[in-house]
Amino acid sequence: MTDEILYDVSDGVATVTFNRPERMNTITVSMLNAFSERLLEADSDGAVRVIVITGAGRAWCAGLDVAAAASGSGIGGDAGAGATGEFALRDAPPIVLNKIDTPTIAALNGGAAGYGMDLALGCDIRVASKNAKLSAAYTARGLVPESGGTWLLPRILGWSKAAELLFTARTLTADEALELGLVSSVVAPEQLEGVVGALADEIASNAPLAVRAAKRMMRHAMTEDFEDHVQRQYLALLPLFGTKDFQEGLASYLEKRAPSFKGR
């Protein structure tokens, strides 16, 4: 496993860190593969209730490694994925992000540009440092969003704002991203880790089966009409009634104490 991706699990929270600070955490083929593997590992680990994704150094992820692509050895180059090994599109991180049921938080410590912005948009929640920027510079590079941006942005922003952002290739400050609703909150750089940690702990304290089901339902709701979705919700609710966590939720409420959920 490459050390370009760091992975740690503590108290129900998995932290995945892009670790190429000298290259602004730009993405290589090996990083993409390692990132996908870590996401899937966390999602299958019963001890993990939340995944936090952040970057080492002053950037979150500045997109694809342009230098590698220009040399023909990276993503987008002539050699493409074959230069360093097979890379299957179906296993790409943005697609994995949209498949896993574990909640994801992007702790945006710095810039997220291009592919990095797509990755950030693929997370469930985005919390930004004042130093963070979101750069939709795709069309200024002769490209379109590589991995889901044209699907995600209109759903997050609405058509008009998404079109403006994509067509102008604009870079947003953290405060501008907050005003548009692209991030949930903006905090001082020194507060980012603590704020994200508290949010992750708050999520992790709730019944994990219910949290995962809620995320799964929200994902399906993006492509279903209301009546079909209500039926799906009902089918998702039935097995939750039979869980020990449901009994614990009721008991803790009646006993006026904090619940202790086990994911069973």
CATH at residue 187: 3.90.226.10
Is residue 174 domain-shared with residue 239, that is, in the same domain?
A: no
139 or 221, greater pLDDT: 221
Please give the residue range of the domain that contains residue 92: 5-204
14 close to 53: Cβ distance less than 8 angstroms: no
pLDDT at 67: 64
pLDDT at 106: 98
- The DSSP bridge partners found for residue 104 are 51
pLDDT at 83: 42
* Residue 143 binned pLDDT confidence (cut-offs 50, 70, 90): confident
pLDDT at 255: 96
Q: Are strands 171-173 and 133-135 parallel, antiparallel or unpaired?
A: antiparallel
What whole-number distance in Å separates Cα of residue 33 and Cα of residue 91? 8
Least confident of 53-67, 85-99, 149-163: 85-99
What whole-number distance in Å separates Cα of residue 222 and Cα of residue 32? 26
Which alpha helices (H) appear in 21-137, and where do they start and end?
A: 29-44, 66-71, 93-97, 115-122
Is residue 55 domain-shared with residue 140, that is, in the same domain?
A: yes
Is residue 141 domain-shared with residue 242, that is, in the same domain?
A: no
Is residue 106 domain-shared with residue 227, that is, in the same domain?
A: no
**How many separate domains does the chain show?**
2
pLDDT at 76: 52
Q: Residue 225 is part of a domain; what is its CATH number?
A: 1.10.12
pLDDT at 70 over 80: no
pLDDT at 216: 94
What is the average pLDDT score of the chain? 89
* CA 2 from centre of chain: 20
pLDDT at 1: 44
Q: What is the dihedral of CA 163, 169, 172, 176, to 10 degrees?
A: -30
Give me Rg for the CA atoms of the chain: 19
Is residue 56 domain-shared with residue 138, that is, in the same domain?
A: yes
